Every structure is written in structure tokens, then in C-alpha cells.
Amino acid sequence: MNNKKKSRIILKILNKTYPKVPIPLKYKNTFTLLISVLLSAQCTDVNVNNVTKNIYPRYNKPKHFVNLGRKKIERLIKRIGIFRVKAKSIFYLSKTLVEKYNGKVPRTYEELEQLPGVGHKTASVVMSQGFGFPAFPVDTHIHRLAQRWGLTNGKNVVQTEKDLKEIFPKKYWNKLHLQIIWYGREYCKARDCFGITCKICKSCYPNRIKPIKTKKA
């Protein structure tokens, strides 16, 4: 089965399963979306939401975090993994936004990726969910599923993103990356489906018997 046929099957299953797809991270504005995505590295969305629900009602602008300073930011996010590194990024990111962008989050990949602690995946999420720009953020989970579904043989998320963008029409990207995340959490789990039990895996690979091994990004 070629990728064109697989993409049609995948879109049909995902649109039926998630006609409306919720955004996993809770945020108040584009700036807090940026902060939440940064915090979510090596951390679950649930944990990020539990921490930020007590932060964003009071602190939701770059100037707020600049005024707090690194140590106070650390105390606010200490329940999140590698919180000291993330607190440093949040402080300097906020300082850059205040000094260079008048407190506004920039609307280009180039400017976003120059901010402290912001990589391509974080920038892609902000461009997609914050500004509605067609983007296909790929994290390690989407990378795993794309391999399992035979959509890429890329060894990293950069190659996987390129391959997925070639397979799926641009108009689906923003919704699709969220649908894949939810589907992976609920139906095609790393230690449950193994590429042989969920509806997408069975539809794309009806004759697959052995569990599929995926390479980490």
C-alpha cells in the first residue's frame, strides 16, 4: 500500500475519531502558549497544565516574568522536569520579548527560533495554534507513529516533518498533528498496540503479524 492510499485511510479514521480535536495544553494568550510548550519538553501536558493553572491568572505577560526574576520563576515551576533550565529560558525569553518586540510574540519561524529555549517544534506549535499558520509540529510521539504507520524512515523529527508534509495536504496539518497526538495516547500506544492492534495499523498493514520496532528521534 502506497503512502497516498495510507494517508486517505489515516485521515478518514482520525476525522471520524476526532471530528473536533482539543488542544492538550491550556493557555491564556499566545505568550502563555509559548511558555506552556517550552515547559512541556520532557514533561506531560497534564503536569504542565496543573502547574500553569496557578500561574497564568496572575502572570501572563513577558513583563510579569521579567519582574519575577529567575529564582521566583524556578519556585513557580519546580514541579516540572529540568525546571532550572526552563526558568532560565523563560526569564531571558521574556526579557527579549520586552526589549526587542515590545512584549509581543513574533510571528515568524526565524524570530521565534532565536528566542532562548525555543526550538523548531516549539515554534511550529506557536505558529499553528497561536497564529493559525499551516504547520506540522513533530515531537517524539508523532515521529514514532509516523514510523509505525510506514510514513517515514527518517532518523529524526526534521526528516519526519518533511515526509509528513509531502504526504498530507497543507490544509489538514494544523488539525492533523493534534489528531495524531490524541490517537497515539488513546489507541496506538507505544507499549500496547506495537503496530498490530489499533484500527490504523490494522488498516494500513492487515498482514502484519510481528510487533514493529521504531527508532527514537
Which of 141, 140, 103, 111 has the alpha carbon at shortest distance from 127?
A: 111
Which of 187, 213, 191, 215 has the alpha carbon at shortest distance from 202?
A: 187
C-beta of residue 109 within 8 angstroms of C-beta of residue 127: yes
Q: Assess whether 139 carries a catalytic annotation.
A: yes
Q: Which of 6, 86, 121, 163 is catalytic?
A: 121
Q: Which of 4, 28, 45, 139 is catalytic?
A: 139
Q: For the stretch 39-66, what's the b/e string if a residue is b when 16 or more beta carbons lie within 10 angstroms of its beta carbon? A: bbbebebeebbebbeebbeebbbbebbb
Whole-angstrom Cα distance, residue 83 to residue 116? 15
Helix 30-39 and helix 45-52, axial crossing angle in degrees, nearest 10:
130
Q: Assess whether 121 carries a catalytic annotation.
A: yes
Active site amino acids: 121, 139
